[in-house]
Chains A and B, each alone.
Chain A
């Protein structure tokens, strides 16, 4: 009796240990990947592991991060916005064109309004009217890019000095761009973790019908998320053009939707939404940023670095399947 009792208890303990181990392993995969990668780059190019380089990475990913956080929340709610890259270009162009007539404050406000407006349009079409998110935002991706190019057939450059400080100034030792990024992260994390709207957003992605039936503001939340995404795309646009001091309508923000999607999926948010954590998305973005930074330091050609990014994404997806299997 005692014997089997003991064996059974031991077996149960074993199983618990095994399962916990597995769960910890999955949860730790992303941070571990980042640590290993950092170590690898450090060995290959010691300059990688300097404070200055990490600050440089943070500046490089700041715009991507600023878009990825609201984008991730949108994806958690089961929606998607493929037009972020084009909206980024449009916002950059609008800002570039309006500095002269409106002054810096006016231009910034107009840009934020344009970004939010683009998001609102997506939101109304998708959430209020109920059209397919992929189709609608694929449409606006092309439309908005066309609009940007029509507004500014030639690259705009030479912005007011007072604006450009955003791109290079430091406060308390960190670049302004890094501070903005940190603020967006803190905001996103706080909204999801502390506010009542957090679980409501995820609820939309888990079971939209049930969310509707228990009385959640299904449409309003959807529209709000699209508008917020548009707003932060505008912020990211201002960040980007202040750094490069130009706004080329044809190339600004090209492919950003794919980088954002990659980062967010790396951060563990399933394509179908319904779960996810803002802080893991931060890690996803960071991994991408580190990867491109490190590969450049190692003088790896761009094509190869692109391929690496692809491989990383597929590996991450594989990990997700493994996790789903284990239930």
Chain B
């Protein structure tokens, strides 16, 4: 049994994205499918899943052609896909999302009880016990939503599973659990997997084979034992020299720009930390640790429940992001599609939307030439591909859209004091990640304080001057000059564990159950 892609071609208008791609995935194997942002990975996967029609070529699953099949037919042929963008329903519960379209019924009616129980099992298999099957999906964080999607895909017992950047917003614990689930499904049920990721260090843990897509064609396919991370980096973005980034040698000075004093918001807190001009505070924690909630509170998107926030020595309490912005505080939210991107806006408008009518952009009349220049500068600096200011936001590949989101606050002259970044490099390829880091180093040099939440401990150690470790909403540690990512991971885990023994937070121990029945 194999999933085969034959000479697949796909163009958008006059731009050829896939120029004849051949790909085979064997049952019982995991194929890591890699390529730079905009290489066409998602496009290929969308053609397989029936979300898009290829122009030419064929796709075969166990001999049956998937060409021209609808997404539902593809699903019924045993090919499940988890898209880069979320496909979940906020108004439904976790269990309802997992069983949507394939409900467990008893006597003609949906058996919620059975669904909730089964959902709990599936989630436990994924190593997540903190998600309540009855919780409304809208109340979940990004990482948790991804887990729900994965549970939904596995619930259908597919023969082939396609994952487009599943770990982009997962922390290392959930990523590990996901790897285990995938390896197990591969070993036991012999499913074949296509796995797209920009985290090259997970390849050796999860994949059997590596395929590189470049310029719309397959560059090479090799067994995982025969490739090193350097090989892959070089193949994905040959220009991104492996120059090993260093934390910018810049000594933060002066009084604190931001001071959190016993700050609490929702289930998060109390948190106390200080941040000086030009300093980067990393915020690390596992999924559900409260990273996003803390940043939202600082940005005025969520109210604080107690404690103080001081900005430049002034006690502040923002009722809305607008107020925060007027004091020089801005946020790049982590959920790009729902909270950040304006899908139908041209790239240049997406980039500049926060700045229209305020400095540094003209107050009264729009200056289109100026806007064009700003986009050009951002595109050059962050290597936004294609560098087309008129292309709609939704037409950019995930990583390139993300560069635009971060680029919003790299516009010169906005007078930012504090930049809040939630998973800023999600979906960004290895080469472009370096460019983003360099841009952030620049921000730092200009004296803006930065708070960056990330589920990637390596990234935190690379960027941060100090790290705030959160565990289930509590401040676990505040570490100066972090070097040791293992220690961060360890701390975060331990916090989770001790919180679990806390009777208030305890969850009933999930029984060991078979994932696939």
Which residue numbers of A lie inside 8 Å of B, CB to CB?
Answer: 8, 12-13, 15-16, 19-20, 194-200, 202-203, 206-207, 209-218, 274-275
Q: Please determine whether B321 and A212 come into contact, CB atoms closer than 8 angstroms.
A: yes
Q: Please determine whether B340 and A12 come into contact, CB atoms closer than 8 angstroms.
A: no
Give complex CA distance A215, B324 in Å: 8
Does B517 lie at the interface of the complex (its beta carbon under 8 Å from any beta carbon of A)?
no
Q: Please determine whether B342 and A15 come into contact, CB atoms closer than 8 angstroms.
A: no
A275: which B residues are within 8 A, CB to CB? 344
Partner of A203 from the list B325, B345, B362 (CB cut-off 8 Å) is B345
A218: which B residues are within 8 A, CB to CB? 322
Known: A16-B14, A213-B321. A199 touches B356 (CB 8 A): yes
Majority SS at the chain B contact face: loop
Q: Please determine whether B357 and A214 come into contact, CB atoms closer than 8 angstroms.
A: no
Majority SS at the chain A contact face: helix
Interface residues on chain B, number (Cβ under 8 Å): 37
Partner of B13 from the list A16, A203, A207, A216 (CB cut-off 8 Å) is A16
B330: which A residues are within 8 A, CB to CB? 214-215
Give me the 6 closest cross-chain CB pairs, A-B, nearest first: A196-B357, A215-B325, A196-B356, A16-B14, A214-B354, A215-B322
Give complex CA distance A212, B340 in Å: 10
Does B341 lie at the interface of the complex (its beta carbon under 8 Å from any beta carbon of A)?
yes
A13: which B residues are within 8 A, CB to CB? 14
B52, closest chain A residue (CB): A327
Q: Please determine whether A199 and B353 come into contact, CB atoms closer than 8 angstroms.
A: yes
Q: Please determine whether A213 and B343 come into contact, CB atoms closer than 8 angstroms.
A: no
A216: which B residues are within 8 A, CB to CB? 322, 353-354
Q: Please determine whether B365 and A207 come into contact, CB atoms closer than 8 angstroms.
A: no
Closest beta carbon of chain B to A305's beta carbon, Å: 35
A219, closest chain B residue (CB): B320
Give complex CA distance A206, B339 in Å: 11
Q: Please determine whether A210 and B356 come into contact, CB atoms closer than 8 angstroms.
A: no
Q: Please determine whether B353 and A200 come into contact, CB atoms closer than 8 angstroms.
A: yes
Interface residues of B in 320-335 (CB under 8 A from A): 320-322, 324-326, 330-331, 333
A203: which B residues are within 8 A, CB to CB? 342, 345, 353
Give complex CA distance A218, B300 in Å: 14
Partner of A198 from the list B301, B340, B366 (CB cut-off 8 Å) is B366
Does B349 lie at the interface of the complex (its beta carbon under 8 Å from any beta carbon of A)?
yes
Q: Please determine whether A196 and B366 come into contact, CB atoms closer than 8 angstroms.
A: yes
Does B363 lie at the interface of the complex (its beta carbon under 8 Å from any beta carbon of A)?
yes
Give complex CA distance A156, B420 in Å: 61
Partner of A206 from the list B55, B320, B344, B365 (CB cut-off 8 Å) is B344
Q: Please determine whether B341 and A207 come into contact, CB atoms closer than 8 angstroms.
A: yes
Does B16 lie at the interface of the complex (its beta carbon under 8 Å from any beta carbon of A)?
yes
Q: Please determine whether B341 and A15 come into contact, CB atoms closer than 8 angstroms.
A: no
Give complex CA distance A8, B341 in Å: 34
Known: A196-B356, A197-B357, A199-B353. A206 touches B342 (CB 8 A): yes
Q: Please determine whether A195 and B343 come into contact, CB atoms closer than 8 angstroms.
A: no
Known: A195-B365, A207-B341. A213 touches B301 (CB 8 A): yes
Q: Please determine whether A274 and B344 come into contact, CB atoms closer than 8 angstroms.
A: yes
Taking each of A12, A198, A213, A275, which has the highest tally of chain B beta carbons within 10 Å of its own beta carbon? Answer: A213
Give complex CA distance A200, B353 in Å: 7
Does B504 lie at the interface of the complex (its beta carbon under 8 Å from any beta carbon of A)?
no
Closest beta carbon of chain A to B517's beta carbon, Å: 39
Does B146 lie at the interface of the complex (its beta carbon under 8 Å from any beta carbon of A)?
no
B354, closest chain A residue (CB): A214
